[in-house]
Amino acid sequence: MRKIVAGLAISLDGVIDSPPNWMMSNAEMEEVIQTGIAESDAILLGRNTYVEFARMWPGMGETFPMAAFMNNTPKYVVSSTLTSLDWSGSTLLGADLTDELAKLKALPGKNIKIPGSPQLVRSLVLAGLLDELSLMIHPIVLGSGARLFEAKSERADLELVASKTFENGVISVTYRPKQA
């Protein structure tokens, strides 16, 4: 059965956005990203990330591996406000997200990748619907900005399944829901 896997960059204080251009990059990190792409054949996006990515990725053509993946891979979008999707290969999921995700996971294929979409990732973790959460923890404190988990988040027990420290100080960790 396919897995729903999320990958996010995060600061030490839990910020996942703002200010722009704070994330580090190196060959080790790119290798992790490329492995995630190779292991996936579908993309799951929340509304905000879909709108942003639909403006950005189609104009990049096929020159970047991530652009080719984003533009040529089937995309499934979670939104209660969008009524149509213009980005090629995009499908709007129905209202019963648990049922829709179960159907997607039951289809043959590779992983379903969530690149970004922090609100969606948060809701899936708290609902027990995310199979893996991979974080690249950057050695920086940003102080302000949207956080992956807000102060009033519910509890979700996770277990560490992989970790690696990169030369630039970024730590890559992967968690799965803890089995009772």
Per-domain residue ranges for the chain? 4-177
| H helix intervals, 57-96 | 65-72
pLDDT band at 19 (very low <50, low <70, confident <90, very high): low
Q: Is the pLDDT of residue 144 over 90?
A: no
> Do strands 132-138 and 4-11 pair parallel, antiparallel, or not at all (unpaired)?
parallel
pLDDT band at 110 (very low <50, low <70, confident <90, very high): very high
Class of the 4-177 domain? alpha beta
| H helix intervals, the chain | 27-38, 47-56, 65-72, 97-106, 118-127
Alpha-carbon separation of residue 7 from 82, 108, 120 (angstroms): 24, 22, 12
The owner of tokens 């080719």 is 68
Q: Is the pLDDT of residue 161 over 80?
A: yes
CB atoms within 10 A of CB 112: 23
pLDDT at residue 116, rounded to an integer: 87
Mean pLDDT of 159-175: 95
Mean pLDDT of 61-88: 90
Query: pTM of the prediction?
Result: 0.92
